[in-house]
Structure 1
């Protein structure tokens, strides 16, 4: 197993590995999970290509860091992402398999991710986006100290989109 980026009480966040392919393809291909993202459900080919391109990445280098989120037994539960978006803003995101929803895992991950990012992003602003109908993620971001800075109608998805941000002190 790859060495962890960080851990929480129940979670290990580590680089994606090629061995993660089965659960990663399932996660990325689940339309219910992906409806809360800016992408449709991915085909197995798309997911395989993405995993092979991103496997093993540890450091924040301005590129997409997509990390595996696994439980203490090593079972793949979801992913955490940190990257510079199209506007060159630091952005974070996460997603979990549906069977993980409602267990507090996303809150645990988001709090730890914000804590992990405080030092490398010192003085920077971290951004996150959530659809307004994803009430759980909106609550999690607010609980982690993110402020809602903009809400608008997203015509691509026919719903309200929310932009949150959190500035790390110097």
Structure 2
């Protein structure tokens, strides 16, 4: 059969974005009311410099634009707000379908770093995702100078694949990114997730 006439292969989806409770956190779908908290977190150079698709400075209107797209309900993606149960947005974990592959992205307000919250949040999101997608494979990556993120991925069972340069909006420059991949059978659930 002519390759141009073949139907694209359907990608399985994990279902609607869930609410996930862990020992210390509640992960929930984003809301338009998260815009100000997101802008406050992402207007911090220490956070934004580690993200490829986030501009610096980051304004509340940037957050509202992103939220309009992600809260539309039309996407199969999971975009989870990280809260400590008080509903205050302190970070994000996303599982997005891009170019036929599931991709993990995450960030956390700097004032919550060093407490193991990101490991708990990412671990819980991956656990739920992989329970719904037992044959799933998740891709991610981190800038080469983001040792904490690379350690988190290795702790959860991600395999480091290669290094390539990507453009960072915040840095306005090409930056080395280490690509990684998690196959469902290699996932290591963290305690508390």
Q: Tell me if both proteins adopt one fold, taking TM over 0.5 as the criterion.
A: yes
> Could you say if the C-alpha distance between residues 152 and 18 of structure 1 is closer, same or farther in structure 2, counting changes exceeding 3 Å?
closer
2:158 corresponds to 1:136: no
Structure 2: state its 5+ residue gaps.
1-16, 186-193
* Structure 1 position 149, deviation (Å): 1.0
The whole-number CA distance in structure 2 between the counterparts of 1:23 and 1:140 is 24
Structure 2-normalised TM-score?
Answer: 0.75
Larger relative contact order (CA 8 Å, sep ≥ 6): 2
Give the distance between the partners of 2:64 and 2:84, measured in 1 at CA.
Answer: 22
Are 2:52 and 2:166, in contact at CA under 8 Å, matched by a contact in 1? Answer: no
**Greater Rg over alpha carbons, structure:** 2
Q: Aligned partners of 1:46 and 1:127: how far apart in 2?
A: 25
Cα–Cα, structure 1 residues 88 and 45, in superposed 2: closer, same or farther, change >3 Å? same
Q: Assess if the C-alpha contact under 8 Å between 2:167 and 2:174 holds in 1.
A: yes
- State the partner residue of 1:10: 24
1:17-166 matches, cutoff 5 A: 17-39=31-53, 40-41=55-56, 42-55=58-71, 57=73, 61=76, 64-85=77-98, 87-154=99-166, 157-166=173-182
1:6, distance to aligned residue in structure 2 (A): 0.8
Rounded Cα–Cα distance in structure 2 between residues aligned with 1:65 and 1:155: 24
TM-score by length of structure 1 reads: 0.85
| CA drift at 1:158 | 4.3
Moved over 6 A (4+): none
Cα offset for 1:168? 1.6
Question: Does the 8 Å CA contact 2:52/2:167 hold for their aligned counterparts?
Answer: no
Q: How many residues align?
A: 163
Cα separation, 2, equivalents of 1:108 and 1:56: 27
- RMSD across aligned C-alpha pairs, in angstroms? 2.2
Q: Deviations over 1:17-74 (max 9, x none)?
A: 12222201212332321111112233322211111332375x972xx43221100222
